């Protein structure tokens, strides 16, 4: 299913379903105990964003230290691999929902509810901003403790009243700190309205680094050597990710701009080798970019290595230029520097937690996507990213060229 179809389903089916579900759960609560049970088997829900699986990792690691139990995770099938980069959640504790069609979505959702009972899930944290679908998953997964973002008196998307621990989403601080606020709410011994009333320090959102062996680096280097025979250990590897998910296509910087930046890099650095990264499905687009550059030192590397080998590639690379997308966050678990081009979103909320430099015009209309509009913008002319020229990007990265 495409993104707009999923948004439509979430609205037209989600609003009445969350309303009816609220009535059902409120009625049931009249006849059940309201005693708080300290969390043991805790489920986290984040379906649609691969980068968020990295941004939530500091919160998950903190929660692991606070509870005497297991962490579980539910995510869309297409995004599951992102959870394996740091390995915080055990494979057997991950459930994937198939979003490929309406029938597949419905069937896997029913299986999810059965899986939750089998795993004896007692607590759930909904990491999505204001999705009605995830609100329903939280409400009916069987957990007695249900934590998530609530709009209160704000204009946020309606998704019923299915939570036992309502957290105020803060649109003025990084999303990783908002995730910490959710986990704090779950283990809070005192009821609050709203949760969470404390300062989340910058030190709390420090990412763990991926452990990479020399043999893993050598395997990736050998693959590069197959495509570029002059590659040596002294070659400066520079990665370009010109892709962005269909969730927000307005984030894409034009490939012609990437082509111009690459040409500038190659003209000013005889030691640079450009690798165009991406998934196998993005190989054709990467080839178009490689063809426009027309230089043997610019290689289409999309789909050449497995997803879990990306950190190995990052660990031997100098830096990456990328759209505001998943790879910016995947790279944060290594020491490689990233230059991230932002348009309709802001680095203040979604900046990489690693070594990173945002390139952001900060126009008066930016950011134009938020929790309140389901990350769907009315913009039909993304000047916020068009105004960023190849020269601006080159001047920003020039000091990193060897």
Walk me through the domains of the chain, giving residue ranges and CATH numbers: 3-21+32-205 (3.40.50.2000), 214-400 (3.40.50.2000)
CB atoms near residue 25 (< 10 Å):
18
Least confident of 291-300, 377-386, 393-402: 377-386
Residue 54 pLDDT greater than 70, yes or no: yes
Asked if omega into 196 is within 30° of 0 (cis), the reply is: yes
The residue-averaged pLDDT of 41-67 equals 93
Residue 33 pLDDT greater than 80, yes or no: no
pLDDT digits (tens, 9 = 90+) for 142-181: 999 999 999 898 877 889 999 999 999 999 999 999 999 9
CA dihedral 37, 165, 201, 130 (to 10 degrees): 140
State what percent of residues in the chain have pLDDT above 90: 79
Q: How confident is the model at residue 243 (pLDDT cuts 50, 70, 90)?
A: confident
CB atoms near residue 358 (< 10 Å):
19
Q: How confident is the model at residue 391 (pLDDT cuts 50, 70, 90)?
A: very high
The per-residue pLDDT for 35 is: 67
The per-residue pLDDT for 380 is: 86
Using DSSP, state whether 388 is helix, strand or coil: coil
The residues pairing with 323 across neighbouring beta strands, listed in sequence order, are 341
46 CB-near residues (< 8 Å, 6+ apart): 52, 53, 56, 73, 74, 75, 127, 128
Structure tokens at 191: 């009821």
Query: Residue 140's closest CA among 312, 18, 12?
Result: 18
CA distance 302 to 290: 11
242 CB-near residues (< 8 Å, 6+ apart): 252, 253, 255, 258, 276, 278, 285, 286, 289, 323
CA distance 254 to 243: 10
pLDDT digits (tens, 9 = 90+) for 330-376: 999 999 999 999 999 999 999 999 999 999 999 999 898 887 787 78
**Could you identify the residue written with the tokens 């204009």?**
155
The residue-averaged pLDDT of 32-39 equals 76
Residue 373's φ and ψ, nearest 5 degrees, are: -115, 20
Q: Which helix (H) or strand (E) holds 195?
A: none
The residues pairing with 299 across neighbouring beta strands, listed in sequence order, are 275
Residue 138 contacts residue 148 (beta carbons within 8 Å): yes
Residue 133 pLDDT greater than 80, yes or no: yes
The residue-averaged pLDDT of 242-265 equals 89
């Amino acid at each position: 299913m495409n993104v707009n179809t999923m948004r439509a389903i979430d609205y037209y089916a989600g609003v009445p379903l969350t309303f009816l579900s609220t009535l059902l759960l409120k009625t049931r609560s009249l006849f059940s105990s309201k005693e708080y049970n300290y969390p043991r088997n805790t489920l986290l829900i984040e379906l649609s964003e691969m980068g968020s699986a990295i941004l939530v990792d500091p919160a998950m690691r903190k929660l692991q230290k606070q509870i005497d139990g297991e962490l579980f995770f539910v995510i869309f099938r297409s995004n599951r691999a992102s959870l394996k980069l740091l390995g915080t959640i055990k494979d057997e504790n991950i459930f994937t929902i198939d979003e490929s069609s309406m029938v597949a979505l419905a069937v896997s959702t029913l299986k999810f509810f059965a899986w939750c009972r089998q795993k004896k899930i007692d607590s759930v944290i909904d990491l999505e901003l204001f999705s009605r679908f995830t609100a329903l998953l939280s409400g009916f997964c069987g957990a007695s403790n249900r934590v998530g973002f609530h709009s209160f008196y704000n204009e946020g998307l309606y998704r019923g009243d299915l939570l036992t621990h309502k957290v105020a989403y803060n649109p003025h601080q990084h999303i990783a700190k908002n995730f910490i606020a959710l986990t704090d709410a779950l283990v809070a011994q005192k009821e609050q309205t709203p949760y969470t009333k404390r300062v989340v320090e910058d030190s709390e959102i420090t990412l763990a680094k991926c452990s990479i062996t020399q043999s893993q680096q050598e395997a990736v280097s050998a693959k590069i050597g197959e495509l570029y025979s002059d590659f040596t250990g002294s070659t400066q590897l520079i990665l370009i990710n010109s892709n962005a998910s269909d969730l927000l296509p307005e984030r894409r910087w034009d490939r012609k701009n990437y082509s111009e930046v690459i040409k500038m890099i190659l003209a000013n650095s005889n030691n640079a080798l450009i690798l165009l990264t991406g998934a196998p499905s993005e190989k054709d687009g990467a080839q178009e970019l490689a063809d426009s550059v027309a230089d043997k030192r610019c290689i289409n590397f999309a789909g050449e290595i497995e997803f879990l080998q990306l950190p190995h590639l990052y660990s031997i690379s100098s830096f990456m230029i990328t759209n505001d997308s998943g790879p910016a966050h995947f790279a944060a678990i290594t020491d490689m520097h990233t230059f991230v081009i932002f348009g309709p979103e802001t680095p203040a909320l979604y900046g990489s937690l690693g070594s990173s430099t945002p390139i952001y015009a900060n126009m008066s209309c930016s950011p134009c996507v938020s929790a309140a509009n389901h990350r769907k913008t009315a913009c039909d002319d993304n000047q916020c990213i068009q105004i960023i020229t190849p020269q601006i990007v080159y001047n920003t990265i020039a000091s990193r060229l060897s």
